[in-house]
Amino acid sequence: MSDPRRRIPRTDALLALPPVTEARERLGDTAVREIIRNAQESARRGEISPDDVGRHVADAVRVHRVSSSRPVLNATGVVVHTNLGRAPLSAAALDAVVAASGYVDVELDLHTGQRSKRGAATRAALLRACPAADDALMVNNGAAALVLATTALAAGRAVVISRGEMIEIGAGFRLTELIASTGARLHEVGTTNRTHLRDYADAVAGDDVGAILKVHPSNFRVEGFTRETSLGELRDLGRAHGVPVIADIGSGLLQPDPLLPDEPDATSALSAGADLVIASGDKLLGGPQAGLLLGDAELIQRLAGHPLARAVRADKLALAAMEATVSGPRPPVHEYLHADTDRLRVRTENLGAATGFQIVEHDGRVGGGGAPGVPLHGWAVRLPVSAAQSLRLGDPAVLPRVHDDACLIDLRCIPEADDPLVLAAIKQAAFGA
């Protein structure tokens, strides 16, 4: 009896199939050959028929992506979702990234043909968006901004910080450990719930201090019998002793947002007395991953001239995306935070009516450590919890919120044009339709 494995198509025959020939330019030869090898091995193991190898390969190359990252529709109601890459970029930022993906004048003055300062256009855009800052510097993330600032200003010296602000950020990283890694010494003052100006004053008078650091707690709140020292008080103390005051505001608002009255912003922090403000670019600002340093021109230049600045500098794609974010239309994060609740309800009711599932009130969240405890009122379609995995594994993937033994679909962070995709995903997950 003839071995059926002899009927497995040869590699060159599979490469000649029209769908495969078209896919080679899009996917590259390495990826296409890997798909072919996998199909041939499946046939050798008896998992598919040798006669089906060609069809299997053709189907695989049609859906294969070079990148393993999958687009996800965020139906959780969490606007800045860390597990989904935080802020989605605006259309303007996406266009800027595409334009910057080839050769671009990131460090070239086209008028003179000479080398220019990297990121000058992005710096100018940030200063227009935050006029309270004398200068600006962008690095590759918020932690890098803090490391650069403490290295350049306080390596071998003390950084004074309140015990109530010694926070842990994502993935178990602690700001105190980041600071210590720079060679600076932590000088802790006050207690968890109360830190007075005199605590900072005693530290500055009795130690070799390179900087006073005030950190926004971000993802938690301390309430009740509390006391914190204001930036205005710290400004006067710092200037009396020649010590810069750094405010790490975290989530990245450049201007106040009435929706988030307790969330700090760069303009207010600088006006209140901070010499240097540190913020993330991919949270409430709605831009790419970045660390922003805003404030005193002399301090910014010290940081920009430090050797570590080269190691943490932003790449051309992030610089382009940030310029477009702060110069262009409101990014999606802002639109989702300030979504029209009446329109959200109509969309949710339409989705519920089309699927037959119940509509429930549902509070979204800012996410990303921003504005903890601030509810974003809205609605959700309530599905059986059993639908959650099918939604996540569908195409497109839809990430619901699983809560109280239910699978909740919140449309706050989904563009209205994608509502039909959500409807199709629900029907597939719930009914197999």
Q: Tens of pLDDT along 349-386?
A: 999 999 999 999 999 999 988 887 789 999 999 999 99
Can you list the positions of beta strands (E) in 339-396?
Answer: 358-367, 376-384
Q: Which residues of 74-86 are buried (b: 16+ CB within 10 A; e: fewer)?
A: bbbbbbbbeebeb
pLDDT-based confidence at residue 170 (cuts at 50, 70, 90): low
pLDDT at residue 223 greater than cutoff 80: no
The token pair that represents 65 in the structure block: 């992506």
Q: CA nearest 145: which of 117, 126, 125, 124?
A: 126
Mean pLDDT score across all residues of the chain: 93
Domain regions of the chain by residue span = 7-63, 72-83+335-431, 90-328
Report the pLDDT value the prediction gives residue 224, as an integer from 0 to 100: 78
CA pair distance 284, 335, nearest whole angstrom: 11
Across the range 205-227, mean pLDDT stands at: 85
Domain topology for 72-83+335-431: Aspartate Aminotransferase, domain 1 (3.90.1150)
Write the CB contacts of 48 (distance below 8 Å, at least 6 apart in sequence). 39, 42, 56
String of DSSP letters for 177-211: HHHHTTTPEEEEES-SSB--HHHHHHHHHHS-EEE
pLDDT of 219 above 70: no
Span 31-41, pLDDT tens digits: 999 999 999 99
Question: What is the arithmetic mean of pLDDT over 48-62?
Answer: 93
Report whether pLDDT(135) > 70.
Answer: yes
The arrangement of strands across the sheet holding 276-280 comes to 135-139, 291-295, 276-280, 245-250, 209-215, 158-162, 185-189
pLDDT confidence band for 432 (50 / 70 / 90) = confident
Percentage of the chain modeled with pLDDT above 90 = 84
pLDDT the model gives residue 4: 76
Written as one letter, the residue type at 324 is A
Provide CATH code, domain 90-328: 3.40.640.10
Q: How far apart are CA 158 and CA 328, in angstroms?
A: 40
pLDDT of res. 222: 75
Has residue 171 got a pLDDT over 70? no
Which tokens belong to 416?
Answer: 């209205």
pLDDT for 172 equals: 73
Predicted TM-score of the model (pTM): 0.90
More confident residue, 373 or 389: 389
% of residues, the chain, pLDDT over 70: 98
Q: What is the pLDDT of residues 78-105, one digit of tens each?
A: 999 999 999 999 999 999 999 999 999 9
Q: What is the pLDDT of residues 276-306, one digit of tens each?
A: 999 999 999 999 999 999 999 999 999 999 9
pLDDT value at 258 more than 80: yes
- 365 forms bridges with which residues in the sheet? 78
pLDDT band at residue 217 using 50, 70 and 90 as cut-offs? confident
